[in-house]
Structure 1
Amino acid sequence: MKKKKQKKPDGRCATCPRWDRWHIRIPNSEDQQKLIRLYRKSGAKTKSDFVRARLLGEAFKVITQDPAKEPYLEKLSEIVAMTHKIGVLYNEAVKALNTYHSVATAQRLLSKLETYSQLLIRLQQHALFLTKF
């Protein structure tokens, strides 16, 4: 879709349909503060997205943070990062084994890899345990 030329500083143009533009004012300062709080809680990218969702009755989400759950979230994030790191290293190790090493070396390294895999499984089980409570 080709953008039409705009001669006016607020984005209006002579050939744009009148219904493409919407302007509202909220004169009451209490209402303004309430809207600002709702916008910040909503997680919407822009104020326009927030207002559009409210006017059209689309799904509305509120993001809250619970300070009591901060240690849990930190630990869970740590576990996820460690799992990702171990997975990447696992793939690199398997590629290196297939490419450069003999069968005896590969068996030794695979036994170490199995122990790390067991640690990874325990770590994931611990994450599941933390999530249940």
Structure 2
Amino acid sequence: MNETKRKMGRHPKKDPAVFRYTVRFNAEEHIRFLAMFDKAGATTRSVFIKQQFFGQPFRVLVEDRSLLEYYQKLSSFHSQYRAVGNNYNQIVKELRVHFSEKKAMALLYKLEKCTQELIRITQEIVILTQEFERKWSQR
């Protein structure tokens, strides 16, 4: 009978990194190192040191919190618009059921005016967003 042994564990790397070096920093150098590491946005310290040692470009990624907050608030509008649309449909159904045609039409007229105001505000938001992207987007 032909028995085959089954290997367990991870597959070995083709070119494993087996050589290790130690670097020691004093307190001031350590603070400078951590500041550079944070600016670079590297995933690990060893990767950052390798990039610096072998002359790979030092990249600084800047995250603008105001831009992030703006897009978060902008995306929250989507759910709010869906809620407004849902409420709009419910109001129209209730007006048709509970009011006379004349009274329902008067109330729908007021609702239409509010909807036009919402559309105007939405158009302003779109214009402001396009202007914001044109000025601050890093493309």
Superposition TM-score, scaled by structure 1 size: 0.50
Number of paired residues? Answer: 116
Q: Which has the higher contact order (CA 8 A, sep 6+)?
A: 1
Give unmatched runs, 5+ long, in structure 2: 1-7, 97-103
**Residue by residue, what CA displacement relative to the aligned partner does 1:84-117 show, whole Å, maximum 9, x if unpaired?**
2332111122234446742767775454233223
In 2, distance between residues paired with 1:40 and 1:49? 13
- Bigger Rg, which one: 2
> Residue in 2 aligned with 1:119?
121
Query: Of 20, 23, 46, which aligns to 1:23?
Result: 20
Give unmatched runs, 5+ long, in structure 1: 5-14
Moved more, 86-95 or 23-32: 23-32
**Residue by residue, what CA displacement relative to the aligned partner does 1:1-57 show, whole Å, maximum 9, x if unpaired?**
8359xxxxxxxxxx9999343422225758766543321211123213424555677
| Corresponding letter in the other structure for 1:63 | L
| Corresponding letter in the other structure for 1:19 | P
In 2, distance between residues paired with 1:116 and 1:78? 22
In 2, distance between residues paired with 1:127 and 1:58? 36
Give the Å deviation of 1:58. 6.2
Give the Å deviation of 1:119. 1.0
Superposition TM-score, scaled by structure 2 size: 0.49
In 1, distance between residues paired with 2:113 and 2:125? 19
Residue correspondence of structure 1 range 1-133 to structure 2 within 5 A = 2-3=9-10, 19-27=16-24, 35-51=33-49, 53-54=51-52, 60-64=58-62, 74=66, 79-98=70-89, 101-102=92-93, 109=111, 111-130=113-132, 132=135
Question: Aligned-residue CA RMSD in angstroms?
Answer: 4.5
| Corresponding letter in the other structure for 2:135 | K
CA 1:49–1:124 in structure 2 vs 1: closer, same or farther (change >3 Å)? Answer: farther
Percent identical pairs in the alignment equals: 16
In 2, distance between residues paired with 1:108 and 1:2? 70
